[in-house]
């Protein structure tokens, strides 16, 4: 079996669950277009967003060989196109091709490093620094633009940065009043990027 034999293109609408925590891992998932959030529920049932996946990310890698079930839920946060490859095809390629296996390990390392670095960056900052980090992440890493439509809610931002939604709303309002950003509905425009970068480092 080759990868093409087990490949299919899947389209997920905003809010649609692509893979659920605890489900059996059946596919190797590659994000072709759109955005998805990776989240886990703790023993108390609280959702913790552990990362945001953007185009060209392999979003199921961290559960691919370490467990038979997904260790987190993958949810589309905007209309998303995915390439899903049957796990059996991937396993056969790993066994047959050392080059493919090494490439896959490198991709897994990149994904884990990305999630770990994001978490470390957030944990070392105060509230305003965390908010600035998230805004700049979407502007620079995801949309490549200082004006973008925020794809996650204020509550989801709170879940991502481990802060109360009230604090998120207050900080965004302060950024707006200080002339650092403009907010219209879900659209955010960065007006003073140097100050936002300073807040990310020192806030």
Phi-psi category of residue 70: left, alpha or beta, with phi > 0 → left and psi -120 to 50 → alpha: beta
User: b/e string for 106-134 if b means 16 or more Cβ within 10 A?
Assistant: eebeebeebbeebeeebeebebbbbbbbb
Percent residues over pLDDT 90 in the chain = 47
In terms of pLDDT, which residue wins out, 69 or 117? 69
pLDDT band at 78 (very low <50, low <70, confident <90, very high): very high
At CA 23, angle to CA 21 and CA 28, rounded to 5?
A: 95
Residue 170 confidence (pLDDT): 95
Residue spans of beta strands (DSSP E) within the chain: 7-12, 17-19, 27-33, 36-41, 47-53, 73-76, 80-86, 147-149, 181-184, 187-190
126-202 shares the fold of 3-122:
no
Q: Which residues contact 96 (CB under 8 A, 6 or more apart)?
A: none
Residue 2 confidence (pLDDT): 40
CB 87 within 8 A of CB 27: yes
Query: Could you tell me the CA-to-CA distances from 78 to 4, 57, 130, 149 in Å, in that order?
Result: 27, 15, 22, 10
CATH number of 3-122: 2.60.120.10
pLDDT at residue 202 greater than cutoff 60: yes
pLDDT at residue 180 greater than cutoff 60: yes
> Measured between alpha carbons, how far is 60 from 167 in angstroms, rounded to an integer?
32
pLDDT in tens, 104-138: 777 777 777 777 777 777 878 899 999 999 999 99
CA 33 to centroid of chain Cα atoms: 13
Helix and strand numbers (H, E) in the chain are 6, 10
pLDDT at residue 11 greater than cutoff 90: yes
How many residues in the chain? 203
CB 146 within 8 A of CB 100: no
Which two structure tokens, joined as six digits, stand for 123? Answer: 């944990």
Residue spans of the domains in the chain: they are 3-122, 126-202
pLDDT at residue 147 greater than cutoff 90: yes
pLDDT in tens, 25-68: 888 888 999 999 999 887 777 788 888 888 888 887 666 666 68
Residue 65 confidence (pLDDT): 66
CB 88 within 8 A of CB 46: no
Q: What is the mean pLDDT of the chain?
A: 86
pLDDT at residue 196 greater than cutoff 50: yes
Q: Which fold has domain 126-202?
A: Arc Repressor Mutant, subunit A (1.10.10)
pLDDT at residue 16 greater than cutoff 80: yes
């Amino acid at each position: 079996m080759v990868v093409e034999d087990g490949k299919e293109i899947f389209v997920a609408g905003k809010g649609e669950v692509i893979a659920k925590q605890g489900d059996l891992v059946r596919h190797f998932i590659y994000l072709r277009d759109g955005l998805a959030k990776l989240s886990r529920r703790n023993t108390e049932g609280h959702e913790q967003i552990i990362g945001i996946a953007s185009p060209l990310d392999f979003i199921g890698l961290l559960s691919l060989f370490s467990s038979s079930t997904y260790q987190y839920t993958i949810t589309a946060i905007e209309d998303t196109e995915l390439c899903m490859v049957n796990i059996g095809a991937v396993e056969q390629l790993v066994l047959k091709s050392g080059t493919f296996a090494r490439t896959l390990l490198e991709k897994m390392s990149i994904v884990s490093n990305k999630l770990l670095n994001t978490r470390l960056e957030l944990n070392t900052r105060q509230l305003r620094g965390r908010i600035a980090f998230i805004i700049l992440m979407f502007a620079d890493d995801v949309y490549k633009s200082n004006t973008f439509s925020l794809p996650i809610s204020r509550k989801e931002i709170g879940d991502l940065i481990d802060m109360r939604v009230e604090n998120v709303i207050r900080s965004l309002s302060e950024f707006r009043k200080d002339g650092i950003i403009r907010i219209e509905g879900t659209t955010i425009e960065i007006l003073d990027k140097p100050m936002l970068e300073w807040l990310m480092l020192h806030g």
